[in-house]
Structure 1
Amino acid sequence: MKKTILLGIMGLSALTGFSQTKEIPEAVKAKITQTYPKAEKVKFEKEKGNFEAGFKNEGKEMSVVLDAKGNILETETDINFSGLPKEAKQYIAEHFKGKKIKETAEITDAQGKKKFEVEIGGKDYLFDESGKLLKN
């Protein structure tokens, strides 16, 4: 009985994964493979009419948003706190003293413009390239 249940779950998981991947355009999958040949454990999902690929690339967690034609709209790469602009680090030190930073990331849009995202206390804070707070 346990084997039957386990096999059923495994089969359902395989079908679910296959159907999600099947909905992803080939141009999207090809762009990720071409741009990030060392990407590991790539997972695709739909995101507001576009597609997001989440993966690990050369030791860093990343996500990339693409349109249906495979054009990269945005990349997000996890970074260390030390990778933030000086002004952003100062702002965080002054306003969030003693608070735990859960995640820091560098976000680059299709035009190459960068923003930095910092998650503190379950809330995301965005900073521009100079470290100025964009979103509170």
Structure 2
Amino acid sequence: MKTYVIVSALLLGATFTDGSAQSASTNRVPRTVKTAFTNTYATARQVKWDREGKDWEVSFTLNGEKKSALFNPDGQQIELETEISVAKLPQSVRSYMDGQKKPIAEAAEITDAMGKRYYEAESGGKDYLFTAEGKPVKKIGQ
């Protein structure tokens, strides 16, 4: 059940957004969320906040890497997404994506709150989520 909840959060959260993300000024972000972010990523730069449903997504640069983290309103981190080069995707992900009409535009490694790793590949405006082993994750309801 925990796996289902975590994968559901990934699929419904930052990885498969419906365009409903809303930019938010820092003063609208709950103190608990800002504090959790600052305590975890004290040296982050280029910080930008967005609202993802009831959760908060923060995009930032840390040690030269582009990242985004998703926090719930209580300040608990749900996931961390790190931009990676397409070459760093597992071969099985790249092979799967070769079957898509458009090339991979962006790639990321995602780690959820339980430490489980996923890969994300964006192609043709769609996000595809894969397990750490490179197997496609099906959308809920399919």
Which TM-score tier does this pair reach, normalised by the shorter chain?
0.7 to 0.9
Q: For CA contacts below 8 A with separation 6 or more, give which structure has more relative contact order.
A: 2
Question: 1:78 pairs with 79, 83, 90, which one?
Answer: 83
Answer yes or no: is the 8 Å Cα contact 1:104–1:119 preserved in 2: yes
Please identify the structure whose Cα radius of gyration is greater: 1
Partner of 1:55: 60
Kindly provide the amino acid, as one letter, of the partner of residue 107 in structure 1.
I
Count of matched residue pairs: 117
Answer yes or no: is the 8 Å Cα contact 2:97–2:104 preserved in 1: no
* Structure 2 segments unaligned to the other structure (5+ residues): 1-22
Does residue 90 (structure 1) correspond to residue 95 (structure 2)? The answer is yes
* Structure 1 segments unaligned to the other structure (5+ residues): 1-16
Cα RMSD for the two superposed structures: 2.0
Larger fraction in helix: 1
Query: C-alpha separation between the residues in 2 aligned to 1:100 and 1:90?
Result: 11
Query: Which deviations, in whole Å up to 9, do the C-alpha atoms of 1:75-106 show, x marking residues without a partner?
Result: 1110111221221122223x148x33210011
Kindly provide the amino acid, as one letter, of the partner of residue 116 in structure 1.
Y
Query: C-alpha separation between the residues in 2 aligned to 1:62 and 1:86?
Result: 23
Query: C-alpha separation between the residues in 2 aligned to 1:42 and 1:20?
Result: 11
Partner of 1:44: 49
Query: C-alpha separation between the residues in 1 aligned to 2:91 and 2:43?
Result: 31
With the length of structure 2 as denominator, give the TM-score of the two structures.
0.73
